[in-house]
Copies of this chain bind each other. A is one copy, B any other.
Amino acid sequence: MRLLEERIRRDGRVKEGDVLKVDGFLNHQMDVELFAEMAREFKRLFEGCGVNRILTIEASGIGLACIAAQEFKCPVIFAKKTRTKNIAGDVYTAKVMSYTSGTLYDIIVSKEYLCSSDRVLIIDDFLANGAALDGLIRIAEQAGAEVVGAGVAIEKAFQPGGDRIRARGIRVEALARIKSMSEAGGIEFC
C-alpha cells in the first residue's frame, strides 16, 4: 500500500536491534485518517470472506482493529495480556514471547466471545517473528473458529514470522512489507 510505505519512509526511523520506530503515526500517536485508508484496504483484500469477528491483541493493534471493524461491520475482540479480575475464569489462553520486551506472557480471550461458527480476521500493527499472531491463531483454534486470514500494517519480511505462518496455510496480508532496513541505508520494501 503506497500511502503507508510513503509514510514509513517519511516518518519511520530505524533503530538498532531491528527496531522500526513508527510511533508518530502507528503505535503511540495514531493517525486515524491513515488507519481509515488501511481499513479500506483490508476490506478490499478480505471482501467476501464472511468476516464476523476481528481479533487483535492489546495494546497497539486495538485502534487499527476498531477502525477496520467499521468497514466489516463486526465487533472487535482484543486478547488481554494478563489475567485481571474483570475476566471470568472461562478463557482461551496462549503463551506468547514478546520480541519487544523479551518476556513471556499469557494472552486470554473470554470463551463468551469466540465460537466455532465465527470467521475471524486477525488484525495487528506489526508482524516480525510472528509470536503474537501465532498466539492469536491458537486462541481462534481453541474456539474452533475459522481464521480467514491476518491483516497487518507492517511486516518485517526479513524476519521469519510471516513466511512461517503462510506455510501453515494461513493467508497473511501486510500493507507494507519491509525487505531490509538499516540505520544507515534506510528502508527497502518488497
Contact = CB atoms under 8 A, between A and B. Distances in A.
Given A84-B100, A86-B23, A101-B85, A69 B32 contact: yes
Nearest to A82: B101
Contacts of A85: 17, 19, 100-101
A28 interface: yes
Contact of A32 (B59, B76, B112): B76
Nearest to A110: B28
A66 B30 contact: yes
A70 B30 contact: no
A36 interface: yes
A65 interface: yes
Contact of A28 (B59, B77, B101): B77
A47 interface: no
12 contacts: A17-B85, A19-B86, A21-B88, A24-B112, A24-B113, A25-B75, A30-B66, A32-B70, A36-B70, A58-B60, A59-B81, A67-B67
B23 A110 contact: yes
Interface in A104-133: 109-110, 112-113
